[in-house]
């Protein structure tokens, strides 16, 4: 359901591969939200968020290295958006969610909405700028 579409491709293979992996993680958030068998989703949610934190850090550093290599003028502005995303992700408060099933689903829904909005917007409107330059 959540995966790369033709319009998301930058044409830079390494970057596209990493974006595809980010969509896989978004799909995992979607699947976790719709999992009706699991009674406590807190461990899976914690794991998913830490994987997101790690993987976006890796992707952002590769992307920033690439922008530096092509002497991209808007690098500082672009990197600032990456830092803002990292901060938002770190702010997800999971400690209070144990044993609160509805609260867990609400947190996963919020995470999913945030990820989908941010990722698609960022790839289409911000990442594409260094491709077009
Ligand atoms: Fe980016
Ligand atoms: Fe990116």
CATH number for the domain harbouring residue 89 = 1.20.120.50
Domain assignment present for residue 115? The answer is yes
Residue 93's pLDDT is: 73
Residue 92 near residue 49, CB atoms below 8 Å: yes
In a domain, 2, yes or no: no
- The phi and psi torsions of 94 (rounded to 5 degrees) equal -105, -15
- 1 in any annotated domain: no
Q: 29 to each of 23, 25, 46, 64, 90, how far by Cα in Å?
A: 10, 6, 11, 26, 16
Q: Residue 36 domain-assigned?
A: yes
Looking at the domain assignment, is residue 38 inside a domain? yes
Express each pLDDT in 76-122 by its tens digit: 999 999 999 999 999 987 777 777 889 999 999 999 999 999 999 99
**Sign of the CA dihedral with 113 first, then 53, 107, and 87 last:** negative
Question: How large is the average pLDDT for residues 123-132?
Answer: 94
Mean pLDDT, the chain, as a whole number?
95
Question: Domain span at residue 59?
Answer: 11-132
Flag whether 3 is in a domain. Answer: no
Please tell me the distance from the alpha carbon of residue 37 to that of residue 57, in angstroms, as a whole number: 32
* Cα–ligand 1 centroid distance for 63 (angstroms): 6
Distance 89 CA to ligand 1 centre (A): 15
- Cβ neighbors of 105 (< 8 A, separation 6 or more) are 33, 41
44 alpha carbon – ligand 1 mean position (Å): 26
In a domain, 31, yes or no: yes
Which pLDDT value is given to residue 128? 97
Number of domains in the chain: 1
- How many whole angstroms from 127 Cα to the centroid of ligand 1? 5
Confirm whether 4 is domain-assigned.
Answer: no
What is the DSSP track for 54-66? HHHHHHHHHHHHH
Please, what sign has the CA dihedral across residues 5, 133, 67, 50?
Answer: negative
Say which residue the tokens 């400690």 belong to: 95
- Of the pLDDT bands very low, low, confident and very high (cuts 50, 70, 90), residue 125 is very high
- pLDDT tens digit string along 57-82? 999 999 999 999 999 999 999 999 99
Work out the percent of the chain whose per-residue pLDDT is above 90.
88
Average pLDDT on 18-37 reads 98
Q: How far is the CA of 94 from the centre of ligand 1 (A)?
A: 26
């Amino acid at each position: 359901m959540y995966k790369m579409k033709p319009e998301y491709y930058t044409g830079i293979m390494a970057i596209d591969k990493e974006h595809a992996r980010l969509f896989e993680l978004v799909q995992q958030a979607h699947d976790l939200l719709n999992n009706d068998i699991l009674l406590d989703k807190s461990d899976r949610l914690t794991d998913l968020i830490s994987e997101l934190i790690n993987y976006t850090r890796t992707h952002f550093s590769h992307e920033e290295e690439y922008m530096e290599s092509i002497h991209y003028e808007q690098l500082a502005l672009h990197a600032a958006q990456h830092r803002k995303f990292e901060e938002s992700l770190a702010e997800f408060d999971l400690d209070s969610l144990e044993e609160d099933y509805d609260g867990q689903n609400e947190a996963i829904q919020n995470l999913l909405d945030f990820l989908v909005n941010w990722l698609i917007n960022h790839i289409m409107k911000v990442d594409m700028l260094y491709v077009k330059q």
